[in-house]
Amino acid sequence: MLVLLISFLALLNSGAFGIQLRRVFPRAVAACPSSTSDCTLTSRQQLQSVENGVNMNITGSPVINSAIVPLTLSSDQRSYYTIIQSGHTSFRIGLDTASADLWLVSSSCTSGACSALPKYQLGYQSPTFVPVNSNSTAFNVSYADGTVANGFVAMETVQLSNLTVPNQAFGVVTDTNVTSSDQVSGILGLGFPRLSRVFNTVVNATPFFATMAQRGLLDYPLFGISLTRNSSGSLTFGAIDGSVVSNTSLIEWNEVVPFAPFAAESNTSSYLQWTIPMKNFFVNGTAAAVQPTFPNITAGSSLALFDVGASGIFGPWQDVERLFTSLGGRLVDASGQWAVPCDVSETIAFQFNQQQFVLQPTDYLIGPATGSPGLCLSWPRASPPSADGIDWQFGTPFLRTVYSVYSFGIDRKEPPMIGLYPLNAATAPVESPEQVEAFFSSASAAIATTLPNFPIATPTFTTPAYEFNVSVTASQGAIVTSGLATSTYSAVLATKHANVTAIQALTPSPTLVTFLITQDGQVRTSVSTVATPTVTLGAPPGWNAGTSLSVPMDIISMSSLLVVLFSFLSSTFL
Ligand SMILES: *[C@@H]1O[C@H](CO)[C@@H](O)[C@H](O)[C@H]1NC(C)=O
Ligand SMILES: *[C@@H]1O[C@H](CO)[C@@H](O)[C@H](O)[C@H]1NC(C)=O
Ligand SMILES: *[C@@H]1O[C@H](CO)[C@@H](O)[C@H](O)[C@H]1NC(C)=O
Ligand SMILES: *[C@@H]1O[C@H](CO)[C@@H](O)[C@H](O)[C@H]1NC(C)=O
Ligand SMILES: *[C@@H]1O[C@H](CO)[C@@H](O)[C@H](O)[C@H]1NC(C)=O
Ligand SMILES: *[C@@H]1O[C@H](CO)[C@@H](O)[C@H](O)[C@H]1NC(C)=O
Ligand SMILES: *[C@@H]1O[C@H](CO)[C@@H](O)[C@H](O)[C@H]1NC(C)=O
Ligand SMILES: *[C@@H]1O[C@H](CO)[C@@H](O)[C@H](O)[C@H]1NC(C)=O
Ligand SMILES: *[C@@H]1O[C@H](CO)[C@@H](O)[C@H](O)[C@H]1NC(C)=O
Ligand SMILES: *[C@@H]1O[C@H](CO)[C@@H](O)[C@H](O)[C@H]1NC(C)=O
Ligand SMILES: *[C@@H]1O[C@H](CO)[C@@H](O)[C@H](O)[C@H]1NC(C)=O
Ligand SMILES: *[C@@H]1O[C@H](CO)[C@@H](O)[C@H](O)[C@H]1NC(C)=O
């Protein structure tokens, strides 16, 4: 299932705003400070020595095979985005771990959803553009919320910080109703190749992260995500964020569940989604076992999807109803929404492997309902049974409480894994009602709604037939011969994760970056005066929209009116 649920609100950027980002600066800070033998991760890395905190290869040039970039919560709070370059043009791109295609709106897109966005300029003859089938291979993705993006498949050099991936397949979107805020021009799907529409259409056209893993471009074939409610989160490739994870041994690793068929005849692995087994949930420390929709498929565990593109937590009715019964909540909408008293003084928690991952009220409450004083809407929301057997879906409210690591797995050596590092102390006292109230009033999180004051009946559902219906089963953690990262990587997570400390840690620069965007050429928010490299979204180098008559009007107005300014602020912060 293509669960995207970025479900951006149709909230177009209504004017100038400023956000603060930590500056992108992917220095390969050594996790292996003194000797190369401690950090033999890849054959590439064996060539390196470590000097001055930056990895150098034998020619003395810095080796950039990991990167850290800031992640920003969009102003509609629905998604997290970062910046990539495609064809030497910068774009904001929304992250999604439950889809596997990269796409950008192009200058041919005239749909309303494209109108205010920086676009991939087809009129600019990008020297790194590589056509696929003379631009005639259709690109079609659809997401769980019913939105679609259509266009054609092409290849470009895609850059994320200092990681450069030539010939990366992507969707050049000419028509979409996926709406976004904050000038976000597309989606970066970080799922497995089997989930990718492009990969299933064009031979060997792997998704961005798979491409890097299979070409051996990363120090280790993984990415890590830190999410905050502002711009201080991070996305790393090839390494983890050492400013968030202080002890890599405390990351709990979970083997990813494969989906049938476990075909040997193709070069696609059976891995499909970033999904792991889940055993229990807890209300204020009291455990309840999950009730899987297809218990026979997953040996009594439920399947939990980790989805940075989802702005909520979702579970099956049979579990969510029991959770809110314990929490003293009530169903307020037959779509599966519950509310609880805002002065709830209990934690909830989820257990995948051994550890409990604890959520405080300010993590799981959505906010107070304005028309129903004292009641707060709450995650998780209940979902009908899904034919793919995925019962739980952990989006950003959960992912903000952990550092999550997504390891692609290595051909013949190591299965894919999700690593979870708790950021909430399991033993911390539950937040007081006063803390919860103060949090929601400062976050202006009130929701303009009046909740029904009568009981809502629990709907009934027919469980669909299991979608991956084959008699063959594969054990979780299956090591496959192809379709994962190149086997030149040595496996550091296999065998009880013994060598996990060999994974590099990157630290974001303490320098702050402030974006200023205006739509009328005037910078409305002023920041510090320090040197200001300028990044313009959606405009290739030397691009002068005024001289290009082949581009539609909306591009011309967009390019000339959009000014993006980075200000680097020295900071004592961090
Ligand atoms: C990219 O790497 C070069 C050295 O190869 C370095 O000078 C530059 O600062 C790096 N860029 C970023 C954004 O880290
Ligand atoms: C060393 O790094 C430079 C610059 O990144 C690169 O061009 C060169 O191929 C590298 N050499 C080796 C042996 O990896
Ligand atoms: C494919 O698209 C690119 C970018 O717009 C364009 O330069 C090229 O001419 C197109 N090729 C064909 C065969 O239409
Ligand atoms: C988006 O377009 C698809 C296909 O036309 C349609 O089924 C869907 O309802 C639309 N969704 C929205 C939110 O407009
Ligand atoms: C797929 O995309 C192409 C190109 O935009 C479009 O013509 C076609 O109608 C789309 N197909 C579907 C099923 O949406
Ligand atoms: C951003 O959020 C983090 C974590 O919640 C917090 O520690 C930090 O102070 C916030 N930064 C800003 C600039 O608000
Ligand atoms: C990291 O955690 C492990 C496992 O709990 C512990 O043995 C080790 O001492 C910790 N290391 C540091 C530096 O705290
Ligand atoms: C799998 O990959 C190998 C090596 O690239 C290739 O020779 C083989 O034809 C591929 N098999 C399929 C079914 O695509
Ligand atoms: C599930 O497994 C149990 C025990 O093995 C078996 O009795 C039952 O028929 C199975 N149910 C289905 C739907 O396959
Ligand atoms: C939840 O547990 C905490 C202690 O961990 C306790 O102080 C609090 O009263 C409990 N809440 C309820 C509603 O039982
Ligand atoms: C699998 O699908 C076939 C055909 O749709 C059906 O006859 C069979 O009962 C299904 N098996 C299971 C275990 O659901
Ligand atoms: C850990 O790495 C060391 C040195 O790279 C290697 O000798 C050892 O076999 C590795 N251990 C495991 C369990 O992979």
Q: How confident is the model at residue 556 (pLDDT cuts 50, 70, 90)?
A: very low
> Is residue 548 scored above 70 in pLDDT?
no
CB 396 within 8 A of CB 72: no
Q: For position 120, what pLDDT does the model report?
A: 96
CB 533 within 8 A of CB 568: yes
CB 104 within 8 A of CB 129: no
Q: For position 34, what pLDDT does the model report?
A: 29
DSSP result, 495-523:
HHHTTGGGS-EE---S-EEEEEEESSS--
* pLDDT tens digits, one per residue of 285-344: 999 999 999 988 777 899 999 999 999 999 999 999 999 999 999 999 999 999 999 999
Q: For position 444, what pLDDT does the model report?
A: 83
Indicate whether residue 123 lines ligand 3 (CB < 6 A): no
Angle at 89 between CA 543 and CA 170, to 5 degrees: 130
Considering only residues 161 and 261, tell me which one the structure prediction assigns the higher pLDDT.
161
Beta strands at 280-283 and 222-226: parallel, antiparallel or unpaired: unpaired
Indicate whether residue 499 lines ligand 12 (CB < 6 A): yes
Torsional class of 359: left (φ above 0), alpha (ψ -120 to 50), beta (otherwise) = beta
* pLDDT tens digits, one per residue of 75-127: 999 999 999 999 999 999 999 999 999 999 999 999 999 998 999 999 989 99
What pTM value is reported for the model?
Answer: 0.83
Q: For position 445, what pLDDT does the model report?
A: 86
Q: For position 563, what pLDDT does the model report?
A: 25
CA distance between the termini of the chain:
40
Considering only residues 516 and 384, tell me which one the structure prediction assigns the higher pLDDT.
384
> Is residue 251 scored above 80 in pLDDT?
yes
Q: For position 438, what pLDDT does the model report?
A: 95
Considering only residues 398 and 11, tell me which one the structure prediction assigns the higher pLDDT.
398
Percent of the chain whose predicted confidence (pLDDT) is above 70:
76
> Is residue 278 scored above 50 in pLDDT?
yes
Q: For position 210, what pLDDT does the model report?
A: 97
Q: Give the mean model confidence (pLDDT) for residues 226-234.
A: 92
Angle at 394 between CA 507 and CA 450, to 5 degrees: 115
The DSSP symbol for 200 reads T
Q: How confident is the model at residue 500 (pLDDT cuts 50, 70, 90)?
A: confident
* pLDDT tens digits, one per residue of 396-408: 999 999 999 999 9
Contacts of 76 (CB under 8 A, 6+ apart): 8, 9, 11, 181, 182
Residue whose token pair is 């074939």: 221
* pLDDT tens digits, one per residue of 418-444: 999 999 998 999 999 999 999 999 988
For domain 259-303+311-393+423-482, is the CATH number 2.60.120.560?
Answer: no
Kindly list the protein residues whose Cβ atom lies closer than 6 A to any atom of ligand 1.
24-26, 62, 64, 161-162
Amino acid (1-letter code) at residue 62: P
From residue 255, how far is each of 362, 470, 493 by CA, in Å? 29, 21, 10
CA of 263 relative to ligand 11 center, distance in Å: 19
Q: How confident is the model at residue 130 (pLDDT cuts 50, 70, 90)?
A: very high
Judged on CB neighbours under 10 Å (0-12, 13-18, 19+), 48 is buried
Q: How confident is the model at residue 63 (pLDDT cuts 50, 70, 90)?
A: low
Indicate whether residue 54 lines ligand 2 (CB < 6 A): no
Indicate whether residue 47 lines ligand 2 (CB < 6 A): yes
Q: For position 331, what pLDDT does the model report?
A: 97
**CA atoms of 498 and 91, how far apart (whole Å):** 39
For the CA atoms of 500, 301, 423, 207, the dihedral, rounded to the nearest 10 degrees, stands at: 60
Which ligand minimizes its atom distance to the CA of 178?
4
Q: What is the mean pLDDT of the chain?
A: 80
Indicate whether residue 284 lines ligand 12 (CB < 6 A): no
Q: For position 553, what pLDDT does the model report?
A: 29
Residue whose token pair is 């004083």: 373
Kindly list the protein residues whose Cβ atom lies closer than 6 A to any atom of ligand 11.
465-466, 469
Q: How confident is the model at residue 511 (pLDDT cuts 50, 70, 90)?
A: very low
Residue whose token pair is 């004051």: 453
Which ligand minimizes its atom distance to the CA of 566?
1
CA 453 from chain centre, in angstroms, equals 37
Q: Give the mean model confidence (pLDDT) for residues 501-521.
A: 58
Structural domain spans, the chain: 1-66+508-532, 259-303+311-393+423-482
For the CA atoms of 85, 87, 91, 97, the dihedral, rounded to the nearest 10 degrees, stands at: -70
Residue whose token pair is 């929701």: 447
For the CA atoms of 321, 323, 327, 332, the dihedral, rounded to the nearest 10 degrees, stands at: -30
* Structure tokens that stand for 431 in this block: 């937040």
> Is residue 523 scored above 90 in pLDDT?
no
From residue 373, how far is each of 80, 445, 467 by CA, in Å? 31, 14, 43
Q: Give the mean model confidence (pLDDT) for residues 514-539.
A: 45
From residue 52, how far is each of 60, 268, 387, 527 by CA, in Å? 12, 41, 53, 32
